[in-house]
Structure 1
């Protein structure tokens, strides 16, 4: 466990020393390890003895206030979370609490500086919560030009969406400092997603453009994928999902992404468009086999829950090919495949045999419940219906013979019971 020193400069230095953060090339080279060529003309003009160069004076740099330094420290930590650092994720809560306390205790005069107000807004929107903004606004020192930003951010965090939209709508994220710009665009997008999804997508694009490689970009891309999925744009969904799986699949938040991703895949209706099966394979080929197997299992389960039999069957079979024969993932894959087969035309017996071959001890509790429900459904399909046995026979067709009336009605009733049983199992209305 890392022992964090929460003095801003010390913590920033410690983070910068961690792997993945590389030092820039020095001014004495061109970034490729080679020194610049010597200027021989000066030596020639002075008989081979050039005048001593004047020392280069550093450019004046204005020192930033404490809120800016603290917020930059938080963002460095969060960017490591986007790259998969669980240590950074564990440290984040402690750091958020420390920064909030420091901001609350700050001299009220500090809020007269616009950059400090913007830093506090950045902190609040990045997970810090509303407490510091309440203190800032109560001080009465914030510049008038910065008050809509602070008031809008506070309204957003307190759930007053209409007021937040009104306050933040007129602020262009591109006019904000780099640390705040992407975070503001992400917040504006969240406020627009229900009423204007197209505008929300534009703001997510902007957030990604303004904060590349950061946790802001990771979050914007993750949200964008699901907004696109709800709109049914399969082509853009595929392109964005491939970007996420290539660049952020190790993010600490990727587990949550995969659960929602599996559900989004089934909403795109792979059953009615077989070309999307190839699209699904292209997306999942971006990740390593074990993670790919787990995603196929999630897709298969979601397919069963949403009544997408073909999607469930396809994903379960792909998962079986990636699982060790006697492993729990292999048992899961056989379960999902069997549950899909019992309601597939002509494959009832195959599905039933698959389900009966499974041992409940090899399954997690939710899957054991699914096995029980699937076997119950199979028994209902097999058992003749009393209603069907007494129903009158339909009139014969003059063109071709039909099956015996009892058999036909039993088949129809069995299919209807199967659909009702599947609906009851999955909660489908």
Structure 2
């Protein structure tokens, strides 16, 4: 029903905007259909809010509305801005992804003083990438406009500017924006950017709270992939402070396929970072959300579950699980990690050579020590080391050399594994 309404709205707005932009006054007078900027901005807001709630088919309409508004604002009679609603519409257009040059154009033509010069100057600098220059003015302006149409937009802009200066202040502005415009594209952007601050500044408790809210309200947004990246970073970096219950609580409202995809990403990153407990739990949850169906997701879950169990003392069983996963169901990154895990398992399970066994046998060590003329040594050497210890140290030189060679070989193998993992980060 919503999609049908959007289609009718799209067709109606297209027809009306075509009249306005074409400038065919005679036809417009005959039909009596004209749109003020504030009327057009309402349609844009509705479309944008529909997009972040999950109707991606409205994305094309959003682009059309922005283009139509741009043309309309540039060709409209300046007297329409005597209505404050049209002034707000122009400012909201600029803060909603519109053309910054159009705001410059309108402010330059404003001989009647309809635009607040402070707001115009702040937005022009912000849209030009110089928001920090007007940070003080902007933050003082937010309370003044909090109950007006542009209030939530100014709060969002203030949050964006303050991120680089004061993360706590930025979060305060994002909260103000969310409270003033719930269920809108403003709340979606404010929540997503709040999660980003929590990740960057190490605020796990706040981050998981923001993530839970976002997952419940905007998981179908076209920007949800950015949220997923942030959520994975948040969980992997702060696992321990963030519990498995926190993770499950954030993802419980998602569909199984979406939740499984995020659990697998957590398992992959945790494996790379060496957090085996998290990798094991995330793999288990991915299997559970995938159900009994044999899907690529279930195969990946088995892979990371096996990799996580390598350090749990079940090397043989884990190696069998890893080996059983088909390469056809793995991405290039997963295949690289699988190869690295197999190399680790091979090194751990490789039996020692006969030469090494002979070197560390009791008889060999005893013979080496007894061959030395310990009675001819002084009671202590020059450094105060007891003679028996010095003799043992001297006789162990061949053994240490072989051990060092074995360790160097092991380090070489582990270095190769590390290189494989680094390529996939």
Bin the TM-score by the shorter chain.
Answer: 0.7 to 0.9
Residue 70 of structure 1 is matched in structure 2 by 40
Give the secondary-structure state (helix, strand or coil) at the position aligned to 2:96.
helix
Equivalent residues of 1:228, 1:236 under 8 A apart = yes
Please give the alpha-carbon distance, in whole angstroms, between the structure 2 residues aligned to 1:418 and 1:284: 35
Residue 192 of structure 2 is matched in structure 1 by 222
Name which of 73, 80, 91 aligns with 2:61: 91
* Equivalences for residues 134-173 of structure 1 within 5 A: 134-141=104-111, 143=113, 146-173=116-143
* Equivalences for residues 203-222 of structure 1 within 5 A: 203-222=173-192
Q: 1:145 to 1:111 in 2, by over 3 A?
A: closer
User: Is 1:341 equivalent to 2:341 in the alignment?
Assistant: no
Please give the alpha-carbon distance, in whole angstroms, between the structure 2 residues aligned to 1:173 and 1:219: 20
Name which of 202, 215, 232 aligns with 1:245: 215
Shift of 1:95: 1.6
Q: 1:368 to 1:351 in 2, by over 3 A?
A: same
User: Is 1:290 equivalent to 2:291 in the alignment?
Assistant: no
Equivalent residues of 1:153, 1:164 under 8 A apart = no
Residue 102 of structure 1 is matched in structure 2 by 72
Q: 1:145 to 1:373 in 2, by over 3 A?
A: same
Residue 300 of structure 1 is matched in structure 2 by 267
Q: Deviations over 1:390-424 (max 9, x none)?
A: xx999899xxxxxx977899579747853773365
Structure 2 unaligned blocks of 5 or more: 18-33, 366-388, 393-398
Runs of 4 or more consecutive aligned structure 1 residues displaced over 6 Å after TM superposition: 8-11, 383-386, 392-397, 404-409
125-134 or 202-211, which deviates more: 125-134
* Equivalences for residues 290-369 of structure 1 within 5 A: 290-323=257-290, 324-342=292-310, 344-369=311-336
Please give the alpha-carbon distance, in whole angstroms, between the structure 2 residues aligned to 1:171 and 1:181: 9
Please give the alpha-carbon distance, in whole angstroms, between the structure 2 residues aligned to 1:412 and 1:320: 39
Q: 1:177 to 1:312 in 2, by over 3 A?
A: same
Residue 27 of structure 2 is matched in structure 1 by none
User: Is 1:175 equivalent to 2:151 in the alignment?
Assistant: no
User: Is 1:254 equivalent to 2:203 in the alignment?
Assistant: no
Structure 1 unaligned blocks of 5 or more: 12-63, 398-403
Equivalent residues of 2:156, 2:177 under 8 A apart = yes
Residue 198 of structure 1 is matched in structure 2 by 168
Please give the alpha-carbon distance, in whole angstroms, between the structure 2 residues aligned to 1:225 and 1:99: 32
Q: 1:315 to 1:411 in 2, by over 3 A?
A: farther
Shift of 1:319: 0.8
Please give the alpha-carbon distance, in whole angstroms, between the structure 1 residues aligned to 2:174 and 2:147: 17
Equivalent residues of 2:192, 2:214 under 8 A apart = yes
Please give the alpha-carbon distance, in whole angstroms, between the structure 2 residues aligned to 1:339 and 1:141: 69
User: Is 1:426 equivalent to 2:422 in the alignment?
Assistant: yes
Residue 368 of structure 2 is matched in structure 1 by none
Equivalent residues of 2:52, 2:218 under 8 A apart = yes
Shift of 1:285: 2.1
The structure whose residues are more often helix, as a share, is 2
Q: Deviations over 1:109-138 (max 9, x none)?
A: 444554433321211111123132121123
Q: Deviations over 1:317-359 (max 9, x none)?
A: 21122223521001111222233333x2523333322221121
Please give the alpha-carbon distance, in whole angstroms, between the structure 2 residues aligned to 1:352 and 1:408: 27
Cα root mean square deviation, aligned: 3.8
Equivalent residues of 1:300, 1:315 under 8 A apart = yes
Please give the alpha-carbon distance, in whole angstroms, between the structure 2 residues aligned to 1:77 and 1:188: 24
Shift of 1:217: 0.9
TM-score (norm 2): 0.74
Q: Deviations over 1:144-203 (max 9, x none)?
A: 761221222222222223234255233125525644211211111011112100000100
Equivalent residues of 1:81, 1:251 under 8 A apart = yes
313-322 or 185-194, which deviates more: 313-322
Please give the alpha-carbon distance, in whole angstroms, between the structure 2 residues aligned to 1:363 and 1:6: 48
Give the secondary-structure state (helix, strand or coil) at the position aligned to 2:97.
helix
Equivalent residues of 2:87, 2:115 under 8 A apart = no
Q: 1:251 to 1:240 in 2, by over 3 A?
A: same
Shift of 1:294: 1.8
Shift of 1:97: 1.4
Equivalent residues of 2:192, 2:227 under 8 A apart = yes
Please give the alpha-carbon distance, in whole angstroms, between the structure 1 residues aligned to 2:307 and 2:173: 42
Q: 1:329 to 1:111 in 2, by over 3 A?
A: same
User: Is 1:184 equivalent to 2:125 in the alignment?
Assistant: no
